[in-house]
Structure 1
Amino acid sequence: MPIVNRIADFAEDMATWRQHLHTIPELELECHQTAAFVAERLREFGVNELYEGIAETGIVAIIEGRGPGPTIGLRADMDALPMSEETGLDYASTHPGKMHACGHDGHTTMLLGAARYLAETRNFAGRVALIFQPGEEAGGGADVMVQEGIMERFSINQVYALHNAPGTEEGTFFTTPGPIMAAVDTFDIHIQGKGGHGAMPHETRDPVMAACGIAQAIQTIVSRNHYALDDLVVSVTQIHTGTVDNVIPDTAYINGTVRTFDPAVQKMVMERMEQIVAGQATSYGVEAELVYEVGYPATINDAGKAGFAADVAREVVGEGKVVADAGREMGAEDFSYMLNVRPGAYLFLGQGASAGLHHPKYNFNDEVAPIGASFFARIVEKAQPVSQ
């Protein structure tokens, strides 16, 4: 079964919605204009219930089907990124320093398209809960919504989400059973030494050399402390120190990211990093403090739900355009919090050739919005069919 004809009929409306959302990017949990636009559309569509102000600006809308049944959740993220847009589009960001560089404007639009269709047809049993979530990029909006009780409050028993995939054939889907995206942690290392003249290093306790030693030693966690077939990334991404060429500074700062799937591996990294920082500090005669922040957990698909979602995707785009065992990747996603409490699946939707995610020239491909909306609609109809 191809793209839903009725959804294809309002593809132009969806493009208009998406391009408007692109002009008003908002950050973290502060998606006020975006949420107001979403709520206005949902009221126009005639949803049965509309709940605003969850996780500050999140929305849950309920559409009732034909007859009793369970509640299925569909989630779209709404927030943007703190970066300047370089697309030159007529509908480029009007909020300086903010940009929809990850396609959340498209995700929101796809769920709005599904909402319009489902509110018109109601060809399903039970209810669908449409979850419009702020704060995916930062703020952990999914966790906040879960902590505020949306799963229990709306009796959601399974949940699904989509993310666009630049550089992947337009209209293809890919997912995988089990872990699909990694847990993400952040570390900061603050080094206190004793500065002095660059010509007299013997009178200093050099934090620059200590920073170099710590950064290099951290890499041995991956190469020497874990099983080579377990996925693990430890990346130093920032080192800041010094101001001029002839002065050894007092301090240095290191920052980076850790990506894991296995909590045991995550624990090992935390312990080894503590040991390395302490040991290196002693060897260089400086003081060093490690601040390790545990972030989003791994995104883990329920195997059965991932298989079901892949089957639905095949009905929308065809057998040859769905990869159901695509493997996992080291990016992170806060939909993980929802999958921690309810079974479901997270899928990627190819959007063709474009700039990559988080790039200043990125733009969502409006041609794939009807495909994503059709997937959302069909998964509701297939999961909760009307009794004959």
Structure 2
Amino acid sequence: MAVLDDFRQDAASMIEWRRDFHRHPEIAFEEHRTSARIAELLSGWGLSVRSGVGGTGVVATLEGSQSGARAIGFRAEMDALPMAEKTNLPHRSLRDGIFHGCGHDGHAATLLGAASYLARRRDLAGTVHFIFQPAEETLKGSLAMLGDGLLSAAPMDEVYALHNMPQRRPGSVGVRSGSILSGADGLRIVVRGVGAHGAQPHNGIDPIMIAAEMIGLLQTTISRSLDPLEAGVVTIGTIQGGTAANIIPDEVVLTGTIRSMSTTGRALLKRRVSELCTGLAAAFGASIACEISDGCPPTVNHPDQVAVVEAAARRVVGDGLLDRNCAPLMSSEDFSFLLEQRPGAFFFVGQDGQGCHHPSYDFDEDVMAIGAAMFVEIARERGGWRPF
């Protein structure tokens, strides 16, 4: 745990960076101040830096002084959420309605800590790419960076990322092979009927009644179409329609989300939701438009890289705080796109406090030392580099 001790004894810089990012949050693809500060720090440490990747992304490359062909990537996010912060922290957000409510400020500071540490110890064999990604909350930042030549600018053999997790034991590291997070797709359904007086429903086609039937039937995609041993969710989050109690409207709009833990399950749920809409339209004589917008695939960890995370965790937190088969979550992450392109692993670091996306959430700054030490130990494990 020597590396962890180093970070714990010298955590002031990471805390300073994190609190600065927290005071000045920026939402998806608007992370101009954040990315500029990150690029400035990385350049100052002598790394080769490329800015503007995928809009506001930053990629920094560290070449080891020893010969070695392996290149690994570490990714952190930079974007905040469009929500109000409800804390009384001295470093609370200075921007109304924008808040680092998911800990991306801490993730960016954590990766900066690892980059600074490794930049001072270049007796390495191989290459490390530090990837600071925009727009994770919209599930679009990873694709934007990939589309802008990320893998050409930073050719890597494998890639790793972490996320703080209030639902896990504080100070623990959790990882698993296979799906660790679900895929997510957006759902918008427009039911068009025929308006009528509320006392004369026979003169119309009631889209509210059809929508009510639809909400229940959509759950059969989980209970009767999806393999019972596989997890999935179909949630309707909004219903909009109608103007008065005695008027049957001509249109109702529903929006929601479809989530699944496998690519086959994802395809199945999307197909069955669309088929149900078609069937209900025929049954009631209505018109139903079903729009499913692609979000991201499930986050699927690769076994070899999971083993690397486990080995690093044993050195950082010990076996007692390593959860090597942690329960997956139905949350989603666009790191999944990177894992489709390169083998890698996504892991959790546990903390106390409110859950992510809660208005009173606060990132646990103790997590940064663990996360930074994990990145350093992964680099050592994967590159066969000398002990520091």
Q: Compute the TM-score of the two structures, normalised by the length of structure 1.
A: 0.95
Partners of 1:2 and 1:317 within 8 A in 2: no
Residue 83 of structure 2 corresponds to 83
Q: How does 1:1-388 map to 2 (within 5 A)?
A: 1-47=1-47, 49-69=48-68, 70-352=70-352, 354-386=353-385
- Tell me the secondary structure at the aligned position of residue 68 of structure 1: strand
C-alpha RMSD of matched pairs (Å): 1.6
Unaligned runs of 5+ in 2: none
Unaligned runs of 5+ in 1: none
CA–CA distance in structure 2, aligned partners of residues 386 and 105 of structure 1? 29
CA–CA distance in structure 2, aligned partners of residues 238 and 196 of structure 1? 23
CA–CA distance in structure 2, aligned partners of residues 387 and 223 of structure 1? 53
Deviation at residue 258 of structure 1 after TM alignment: 1.1
CA–CA distance in structure 1, aligned partners of residues 386 and 99 of structure 2? 45
CA–CA distance in structure 2, aligned partners of residues 154 and 293 of structure 1? 29
> Paired residues, what number?
386
Residues 82 and 387 of structure 1: CA distance in aligned 2, closer, same or farther (over 3 Å)? closer
CA–CA distance in structure 2, aligned partners of residues 253 and 156 of structure 1? 44
Deviation at residue 387 of structure 1 after TM alignment: 6.6
Question: For residue 365 of structure 1, what is the amino acid of its counterpart?
Answer: D
CA–CA distance in structure 2, aligned partners of residues 125 and 6 of structure 1? 22
CA–CA distance in structure 1, aligned partners of residues 3 and 272 of structure 2? 51
CA–CA distance in structure 2, aligned partners of residues 10 and 43 of structure 1? 21
Superimposed CA distance per residue, residues 225-251 of structure 1 (whole angstroms, 9 cap, x where no aligned partner): 222112221122221111222222221
- Tell me the secondary structure at the aligned position of residue 156 of structure 1: coil
Q: Compute the TM-score of the two structures, normalised by the length of structure 2.
A: 0.95
CA–CA distance in structure 1, aligned partners of residues 226 and 327 of structure 2? 20
Deviation at residue 293 of structure 1 after TM alignment: 1.4
Partners of 2:65 and 2:124 within 8 A in 1: yes
- Tell me the secondary structure at the aligned position of residue 312 of structure 1: helix
Partners of 2:263 and 2:297 within 8 A in 1: no
Superimposed CA distance per residue, residues 200-234 of structure 1 (whole angstroms, 9 cap, x where no aligned partner): 22222111101101111111111112221122211
CA–CA distance in structure 1, aligned partners of residues 3 and 166 of structure 2? 20
CA–CA distance in structure 2, aligned partners of residues 134 and 271 of structure 1? 31
Residues 139 and 386 of structure 1: CA distance in aligned 2, closer, same or farther (over 3 Å)? closer
CA–CA distance in structure 2, aligned partners of residues 51 and 211 of structure 1? 49
CA–CA distance in structure 1, aligned partners of residues 193 and 51 of structure 2? 51
Q: Which moved more, 1:112-121 or 1:218-227?
A: 218-227
Residues 100 and 346 of structure 1: CA distance in aligned 2, closer, same or farther (over 3 Å)? same
CA–CA distance in structure 2, aligned partners of residues 342 and 272 of structure 1? 30
Deviation at residue 295 of structure 1 after TM alignment: 1.5
- Tell me the secondary structure at the aligned position of residue 191 of structure 2: strand
CA–CA distance in structure 2, aligned partners of residues 52 and 153 of structure 1? 11
CA–CA distance in structure 2, aligned partners of residues 161 and 195 of structure 1? 52
Question: For residue 56 of structure 2, what is the amino acid of its counterpart?
Answer: T
CA–CA distance in structure 2, aligned partners of residues 7 and 351 of structure 1? 17
CA–CA distance in structure 1, aligned partners of residues 141 and 6 of structure 2? 32
